[in-house]
Amino acid sequence: MLKIKRLYTFMLSRFLPRFLMTFCICLFIVMMQFLWRYIDELVGKGLSIDLVAELFFYAALSMVPLALPLSILLAALMTFGDLGEHVELTALKSSGISLTTIMKPLAILMALVSVAAFFFQNDVLPKSQVKMWTLLFSMRQTSPTLDIPEGAVYSQIPGYNIYVKRKDKERDMLYNMLIYDVSVGTMYPRIVAADSGRLSMTEDKQHLVLTLYKGAWYEQMQGSTNGMNGMSGELYRRETFHDKELVIPYDANFTRMDDETMKSQYVGKNIDELQQTIDSVKLKVDSAATLIVKQLRSQTVCGVPLQRTTYQDGKPIVEKAKEVKLDKPLDINKMIKELPENEQEQIVNQALTRATTGMQDVQFQGYTVSDDNYVIRRHQIELMKKFTLSLACLIFFFIGAPLGAIIRKGGLGMPIVISVLLFIVYYIIDNMGYKLARDGRWEVWQGMWLSSAVLLPLGVFLTHKAVNDSAVFNPDAWLNFLRRFTGLHQTRKLEAKEVIINEVVPADALTQIADLKASCQQFLDRYPARQRYIDYWQQGYDKKAIKSLATEVDNVVDYLSNSRDQMVLNKAMDYPVIRQLLTYQPVANKTVGTVLAALFPIGLPVWLVGMRHQKNLRRDIQLTIKTCDQLTAILNGEYNREMEYN
């Protein structure tokens, strides 16, 4: 019997509710985006509730690939952030359980979700997208519900513009109507003005019936007749009526399109169908390219064909045309100029016509091949999407889980902000890669895997830092790094300890201080002044000696931090921090340094910065020697304030 560890059930019970909640929230948000995008095409068409619900159901299935990675990121952030905020994560680690063990059940769950996402992309998503786009296109073609406003022109009836000044809803009457009929074309419009009227629809909902009262009909007749003096004139028709009925074609029924139309598109195909289409279109492109090359080779050059086809035993044999060797170069321009002007013009026109025709043929064939290549890219993009979603789920988990363990903030505040920012970056990169792949500027695999290639190192970095309990978001750590990188000074902070285990022995302290002073003086004797340009690039300052000196200073400060004398602690804080800067010794190899020194315009700014840093280093070492003297005087009881100014 398979027994699940209690830790695993604990982690699953903390993660699953948050995952389901965030998935529903993210799906609702993307559904609202879908609704805002297509709201104008759905409102005012009299669609039934079941049709709208069916559209939203298939749209929700189609939006799962967009909502799933974001929900995983947000759920992982909330789960591990909440564990860290309530010290549960610290308690688990103190029990000897590593972060990788804590993440193990959720990582297995995410692996299963990734596999399920792949099968969803391959089997469920194509069918749902076919249904969604079929319904959406059918709704677009559905005529809107008639609701003629007062005092405005209504143009939703194809071929007709209707103006109504006033409406009586109780009697279902329209007053002061003006109808502009352009159903037969704008060249011959028909204008109908009526005192009142009533609008109705036939039982089959295929036609509108306008019953008009007390009005006039104005129409410009098609064609013309001969007028006076042989002039042509237009015919106009004017008719007054007491009551009249206009029957207008208007299909108000909802007609669902056939799914087969969308199934042939790339959104409605699985991996096998996509690959089959890609192979068939590639074969078509290769055939078209072969045909173009064959046509170009069959064309004649100056009346001489490039190839010659002969038949042997009923089989065609294609041979290259034999080269025509001339005793001397042929001056074509001279030959043309010797011809009569009409023949010269004829030759130029024929050449221009052939060149234009050939260029147009090649352009047309190129457009055909370009369209086929576009179809191939769209199918390849859809094929790549079957796999990118699964990897995105894993990447977002390994970003969210360690990030939550590092920031240790649960709830819906900080996790939502971080998740939205990360997802925006992911969406921008993914959309950029998609467009580059779609337009053929990049290879399809490069564009579709761009977002994964960018975010995967981030997930590996955060997981590594979280497992090793590194202070990624500790401002002091980043400030120290910035100081080391830019050469800014660092200060020491020492406070009196309430409990001291290793007491400071004055004799030992004096020995360490004396050794430190001797090491500092030895370094200053070795480098008494700033280095020349060539010496700086070939030698520089010995980094090993600087590192040894910095370690010796830190050891002295650590030993003195156990002192009970506040004056000793205050004076120990005066020891400068010996920094390890790259500019002390740019290169360790003398030959490479000589080459870099030869790049004088580039090497000069580096040398100037290095000289400034070396000057600061010598000043810090001198300050270290002065502090050693003062601490020696304090420990010997000989210290006075005048020593501060010596």
Q: Running DSSP on this structure, what letter comes out for residue 238?
A: E
**Token duo for residue 383:** 């094929």
* The predicted structure's pLDDT at residue 641: 62
pLDDT value for 230: 46
Q: Are strands 207-226 and 232-249 parallel, antiparallel or unpaired?
A: antiparallel
Is the distance from CB of 414 to CB of 403 less than 8 angstroms? no
> Cα dist. 390→64, 120, 419 in Å?
12, 10, 18
Contacts for 458 with CB less than 8 Å, ≥ 6 apart: 399
* Short-list 482, 483, 523, 494, CA closest to 624: 523
What DSSP line would sit under 499-511, residue for residue?
Answer: S-SSPPPHHHHHH
What is the tens place of the pLDDT at every residue in 274-305?
Answer: 888 888 888 877 777 676 666 666 666 555 56
Q: How far apart are CA 493 and CA 574, in angstroms?
A: 9
Residues 366-404: pLDDT tens digits?
777 778 888 888 888 888 888 988 898 999 999 888 888
pTM to 2 decimal places: 0.60
The number of angstroms, rounded, from the C-alpha of 446 to the middle of its chain's C-alpha atoms is 13
> Which pLDDT score is estimated for 141?
62
HSE-up of 288 (CA within 13 Å, CB side)?
19
- For position 518, what pLDDT does the model report? 92
Q: How far apart are CA 441 and CA 267, in angstroms?
A: 22
Mutual angle of helices 99-119 and 64-85, in 10-degree steps: 170
Ranges of residues in the chain whose predicted pLDDT is under 50: 1-2, 224-232
- What is the separation, in whole angstroms, between the first and last Cα of the chain? 81
Q: Which helix (H) or strand (E) holds 556?
A: helix 543-560
pLDDT of residue 608: 84
| Token couple for 92 | 């688990």
- Domain coordinates of the chain in residue numbers? 6-141+381-467, 152-224+232-249, 478-645
Pairing state between β 173-181 and 300-301: unpaired
Cβ distance 595 to 534 under 8 Å? Answer: no
Q: 27 in the Ramachandran plot: left (φ > 0), alpha (ψ -120 to 50) or beta?
A: alpha
399, two tokens: 């970003």
Cross-strand pairs, 234:
224
- For the record, the structure tokens of 146 come out as 């008639």
Q: What pLDDT score was predicted for residue 1?
A: 39
